[in-house]
Amino acid sequence: MLNIITIVGARPQFIKAATVSRVIKARNDISEKIIHTGQHYDGNMSDIFFDELNIPTPDYNLGIGGSFHGQMTGQQLEKIETILLQEKPDIVLVYGDTNSTLAGALAAVKLNITLAHIEAGLRSFNKKMPEEINRVITDHIADLLFSPTETAVENLINEGISREQIILSGDVMYDAALYYADKAESKADVLKQLNIGGNYILVTLHRAENTDNPDRLSAIVNGLAELSANKHSVVLPLHPRTRKKLSEFGLLENLCGSVQVIDPVGYLEMVLLEKNASLIITDSGGVQKEAYFHKIPCITLRDETEWVELLDIGWNKLCDVKQGRWDSLITRFAEQMQPWEPIYGTGNAAHHIVSQLVEYAR
Ligand code: UD1
Ligand code: UDP
C-alpha cells in the first residue's frame, strides 16, 4: 500500500486536490490522508468545496490562517512536521504556490520524504509575488514535478532541474472543468437570483499586488465603474482579502454602487457563472484558465501572467489597470482570437499523475 499525505490550505488547492483524490479513491493500492492547513477558513472559502466536490474530510485541520506570511508558513511547517513524523508517508503531495504549499514542501524534504509538486514550473518572473517565491522554492526541493504545460517544463529545465524528475501531466484544473461542467447546471438558479440579465462580465480580484496598493485598487474600482456606466452588467464574487482592503481604503461603497458584488461562491456556481459570462476579468491564475476551458475571452488585471499560452493565442489580454480604457480592449478581442485548441492536456492529468506516483514508489 502506497501512503500519501496531501497538503492543501487555499481555495484553488481544494479544487485541484478533488480531481486527484477522486482517482486515488477509486484504487485499492493507495491510502491518502489529507492535511488542511486552515489557510482559508471561511465556510465559502473552504467547507463548501469539500462538500460539493466530495473531497474526503481532512484527517487534520491545523487552523493556521489569516496571519502574516512568515508566521503562517512557520506555524504550518511546525505542525506538518509533527504529523509527518507520526504518519511516515511514502509521498507528500503539494499543489500550486501558496504558503501551505511551501510549508508542506519544507516539512517533507527536511524529513527526507519524497515530495511531489503538482502544477510545477509556472513562472511570472516577478519575485515581488509571494507565489513566485513559494513555487520556485518548492520546485527546487521536489523529487517529482508535474507540469501542466510545455512552457512550465521548459522553465524547470532552464533552471537546471533534471528532465527525469519532470512529468508533463496536463492540468488537473482542466480535468475538473470537464468533470464538473454538467454538474454545475444543478446551480442554474444562481443566474436567476442575480440581477444581471442575459449578458454580463464576471470579475474576480484578490492578488496582493492589486488589493494592497490603494492607487491600483482604486484604478480597478474606477475601471469597473466605467464598464458599468457603459451598460455592461458586472458581477463580482468578492474574495475576503479584497473586501477587507476595499473597506480599509474607503472604496467598498463606491464599488458596490456600480457593480453587483456577491460573496464568494462554491465551485459549481462559479463554473456556471463562468460558462455564461460574455467576458471574464480577473487576476486569478485559475480563473484565467477556466475562462479558456469554457471558451470565454479573458482580461487579466496584471502586468504579467504564468499562463502565457493564452496571450499567444489571443484569448487572454493583460490590462494596464492604471491606464484605464478597458472598453477598448474588449472591442479588439474578437479579431485577435485564434481557434480554440486543447493546450492543457486531455482532461486526464489526475490519472496520469496518480499512475506515475505508483510507478515511482515501486
Ligand atoms: C492565497 C494565496 C494565493 C492564492 C489565493 C487563492 C499565498 C501567499 N497566497 O491568497 O496564491 O491565489 O490564496 O484564493 O498563499 N481571509 C478570510 N477568510 C478566509 C481566507 C482569507 O477572511 O477564509 C482573509 C484574511 O484576512 C487573510 C486574507 O484574507 O489575512 C488573505 O488570506 P491569505 O490566505 O493570506 O492569502 P490570499 O490572498 O487568500
Ligand atoms: N472560485 C470559486 N468561487 C469564487 C471564486 C473562485 O469557486 O467565488 C474558484 C475558481 O473557479 C477557480 C479557483 O477558485 O477554480 C481559483 O481560485 P483563486 O482565484 O482563489 O486562486 P488562484 O487560482 O489565483 O490561485
Measured from the Cα of 97, ligand 2's closest atom is: 25
Pocket flag, ligand 2, residue 9 (CB < 6 Å)? no
Query: Would the CB of 11 count as within 6 Å of ligand 1?
Result: yes
Given a contact cutoff of 8 angstroms between Cβ atoms, the answer to whether 322 and 215 are in contact is: yes
DSSP class of residue 196?
Answer: -
The crossing angle, in degrees rounded to 10, of helices 99-110 and 130-141 is 20
Q: Which of 206, 232, 239, 351 is catalytic?
A: 206
How many angstroms separate the Cα of 304 from the Cα of each of 4, 144, 220, 284, 335? 35, 27, 16, 12, 22
The sign of the torsion formed by the CA atoms of 160, 172, 191, 341 equals positive
Residue pair 273/287 in contact by the 8 Å Cβ criterion: no
Ligand that comes closest to the CA of residue 208: 1
Q: What is the separation of C-alpha 194 from the centre of its chain, rounded to a whole number of angstroms?
A: 25
Q: Sorting pLDDT into bands at 50, 70 and 90, what band is 59?
A: very high
How many A from CA of 313 to the centre of ligand 2? Answer: 23
Asked whether the beta carbons of 194 and 262 are under 8 A apart, the reply is: yes
Indicate if ligand 2 lies below 6 Å from the C-beta of 347: no
Provide the whole-model pTM: 0.97
Ligand 2 centroid–CA 284 distance in Å is: 7
Mean pLDDT, all residues of the chain: 96
Confidence of residue 198 (pLDDT cuts 50, 70, 90): confident
Q: Is 64 in the pocket of ligand 2 (CB under 6 A)?
A: no
Give residue-wise pLDDT tens across range 253-297.
999 999 999 999 999 999 999 999 999 999 999 999 999 999 999
Q: How many residues does the chain have?
A: 362
Integer Cα distance of 114 and 186 in angstroms: 40
* Per-residue pLDDT tens over the stretch 12-43: 999 999 999 999 999 999 999 999 999 999 99
Q: How many helices (H) and strands (E) does the chain have?
A: 18, 13
CA angle centred on 209, ends 205 and 215, rounded to 5°:
90
Q: What's the CA gap between 287 and 233, in Å, rounded? A: 19
Task: Decide: 47 in ligand 1 pocket, CB within 6 A.
Answer: no
Q: Phi and psi at residue 236, in whole multiples of 5°?
A: -135, 100
Angle at 165 between CA 160 and CA 167, to 5 degrees: 110
Q: 2-171+345-361, what's its fold?
A: Rossmann fold (3.40.50)
* Ligand 2 centre distance from Cα of residue 272 (Å): 13
Q: Name the residue of 36, 40, 49 to mutate for ligand 1: max ligand atoms within 8 A of Cβ.
A: 40
Q: Measured from the CA of 134, which atom of ligand 1 is nearest?
A: 8
DSSP conformation letters of 70-131: HHHHHHHHHHHHHHHHHH--SEEEEETTSHHHHHHHHHHHHTT-EEEEETTT-----TTSHH
pLDDT in tens, 89-133: 999 999 999 999 999 999 999 999 999 999 999 999 999 999 999
Question: Is ligand 1 within 6 A of the CB of residue 22?
Answer: no
DSSP H/E element including 154: helix 150-158
Q: Is the pLDDT of residue 195 over 80?
A: no
Q: Which atom of ligand 2 is nearest to the CA of 207?
A: 24
pLDDT of residue 324: 75
Q: State whether the Cα torsion 270-273-277-281 is positive or negative.
A: negative
Q: If one looks up domain 183-336 in CATH, what number appears? A: 3.40.50.2000
CA of 237 to the centre of ligand 2 (A): 10
Among the atoms of ligand 1, which is closest to the Cα of residue 101? 15
Active-site residue, 36 included? no
Q: Between helices 267-276 and 172-181, what is the axis angle to 10°?
A: 80
How many angstroms separate the alpha carbon of residue 243 from the centre of ligand 1?
12
Which residue, judged by its Cα, is nearest atom 37 of ligand 1? 241
Q: Ligand 1 centroid vs 338 CA: distance in angstroms? A: 34
Nearest to 242 by CA among 274, 268, 266, 213: 213
Residue 332 banded pLDDT, cuts 50, 70, 90: confident
Ligand 2 and 191: CB distance under 6 A: no
As a whole number, mean pLDDT of residues 64-86 equals: 97
Q: Which of 15, 75, 98, 204 to mutate to test the pocket of ligand 1 (most atoms within 8 A of CB)?
A: 98
Alpha carbon distance 144, 46 (integer Å): 27
Are 202 and 44 a contacting pair, CB within 8 Å? Answer: no
pLDDT at position 197 over 80: no
| Placement of cell 496598493 in the chain | 213
Ligand 1 neighbourhood includes 98 CB (under 6 angstroms): yes
pLDDT tens digits, one per residue of 204-258: 999 999 999 999 999 999 999 999 998 889 999 999 999 999 999 999 999 999 9
Per-residue pLDDT at 77 exceeds 80:
yes
Of 166, 156, 5, 147, the C-alpha closest to 83 is 5
DSSP at 29: S
Q: Do domains 2-171+345-361 and 183-336 have the same CATH topology?
A: yes
**CA within 13 Å, CB half, 202:** 26
The domain segmentation of the chain, as residue ranges, is 2-171+345-361, 183-336
| The predicted structure's pLDDT at residue 200 | 95
Q: How far apart are CA 140 and CA 159, in angstroms?
A: 9
pLDDT at 65: 96
Q: List pLDDT tens digits, range 140-175.
A: 999 999 999 999 999 999 999 999 999 999 999 999
Least confident of 46-60, 71-85, 102-116, 311-325: 311-325
